[in-house]
Chains A and B, each alone.
Chain A
Amino acid sequence: MDTSQTLLVFFGGLVPMAAVAFALGRRKALLSDARGARMHSLPGQYGVYVATWMALPALAIGVVAACAVLIGVRVPSAPFVLSFALFGAAVGLAMALRRVEPTLRARNAIEKFVYWTLFAASLVSILTTFGIIISILFEALKFFNQVSVWDFVTGTNWSPVATFRPGQDAADSQFGSVPLFAGTFMITAIAMSVAIPVGLFAAIYMSEYASYRIRTFAKPLLEILAGIPTVVYGFFAAITVSPLVVDVAAFFGLNASYTNALAPGLVMGIMIIPFISSLSDDVINAIPNSLREGAYALGATKSETIKQIVLPAAFPGIMAASLLGVSRALGETMIVVMAAGLRPNLTWNPLEDMTTVTVRIVDALTGDQSFDSPETLAAFALGLVLFVVTLTLNLISIIVIRKFRQSYE
């Protein structure tokens, strides 16, 4: 492959060249040191200084060229880029070497470089968020050019007509997202009605009642629960829990679909238990002991202390944990892809099949449809809503937790 060869030459050449530059810089520093000059920094630091200034221009030229190729801009041939980079390296090397003088603060210069490298790394996380927003936003806007926002938000009928060629008319498609969100919220509600009580009570037990020995035994078990991949939960929901729900429903004379909303909801709840319990555990442990002692000294029992003093004090934190749990349930994909239905269905009955936002996103983007078909674009519109909702929940809980931590530090 041409690009990989270029890369090989580029990096394979760069490392030995940097070593040479290091040696040159160090030698010059050693020589002037031998002549009796008082050098500001250690000889090796001058070496690193020269090597850095040699490598930086070459790297910069290489990266710019590589980006240009990837974006599809026509660039001069690889040998030209290579020699241009080499030229840059030579210029950098010569200038840096000339500057190696006793007064040059090589160490400070290196550390400045380190500082800016670290700073640049911290920008990657910001770029990631921008990347998510940009990648969703543009496609979502294209979708809203074709479908009105009002129809999308209030419509109760989601029936995209599959289009396989770009530009094909999709006038018959309907993109009312209400049933998808109804399904998402139904499954989330089921999940949270399992996860919040069980997770919270488990956290109370771990932090207030359990002995050290029980804690060291039970905590890793809950962590295992948290470490099970979602695809595994999905398989479990589809193969074991769904049939179980159908059987139990049949026992009570009820009719349940094999892709009912209850099974993925329950399994998702179990998945979120350790999440809620570990966050709540942290929050409850942050409540100072003096409050508990104050209540005991008044003649309160343990559960009265917990219910009336500890939990109200921990409420903001528990609330934040629950919101993060909700955000997780809304965005959970594998469990619903594997165990929930594909049919948009507006109903209150959790025994019926229902579909969710994430299921439709996966369905639209794993099919064979052309990338700008309305259904594909609709996936991005759904993604946009999902992003906005979870972002809001996350931000609220992050800020609440920060405030909570500050008030008990």
Chain B
Amino acid sequence: MVNFDLMTVETIASKVEDNSLIGIPADYSGVPMSVTIEIIKRKKRNLRLYCLPLTTIQGDMLIGSGCVKEIETAAVTLGEYGQAPRFQDAIENSKIKIKDSTCPALHAQLQATEKSVPFMPLRGIIGSDLYHNRKDWSVIDNPMKTHSKDDEKIVILPAVQLDVLIFHAAKADINGNVQIGRRRELATLAHASKKVYVTVEEIVNEDFFECELKASATLPSLYIDGISLSKNGAWPCGLTDYYTLDSEEMNKYAKAAKHQETFDTYMENFISQSFYSNNLI
């Protein structure tokens, strides 16, 4: 027995509403692929992706499947497997809107929400075309006059609140606390999101707060609205200490995604097969 809301992957996917602003973790911080497939199956539409700070196959699949209206990101890429083809196609043919950003800005906008302040300053950015294309960013004079030259210009970025965050992690304990290790950006995302759902490889019969070392690597249950057991839930992406990225599948995807027709066939296969075991304990 567990002391939290144990739900299915399907239920988590059903919580994602059309038009919502959804937090997307990077390839190294637990990509929720099993839920992503359910989102695609349910034909969710007009999603707005907020990547912290980038996305790989997850974002590319959602875009190729027609689920996405807008993306705010520092990059979309398949890493060693090349460019993200469905993303490229969507941009080059104006199928989706992009808010091009840079990694530290994506962090800072969520950090503003964490602190419940309306904006966050960040150095850099001035003089880039990123800035020129972001109507929601501003430049101010540093009001603190702390720079050696007292007329320093500095960028301010708006606080961003996410509607929903979904990520995949290693373990949950019996009280619904989730192990995130040193992937602290997951905590930043969670703090800035109205709803948070997590899929895990396993649920362990212990309380992480009884061990200081484990507690320091934990996202507390107070930020979490539902957990699902999903073995291999990040596949074909990797999960630290569990499995590495599936090179063969990434190559297969990179090739298939080059054209919409071959992508569609790939996705039909992907959806019809059951890669993820989803047993309620």
A binds B: no
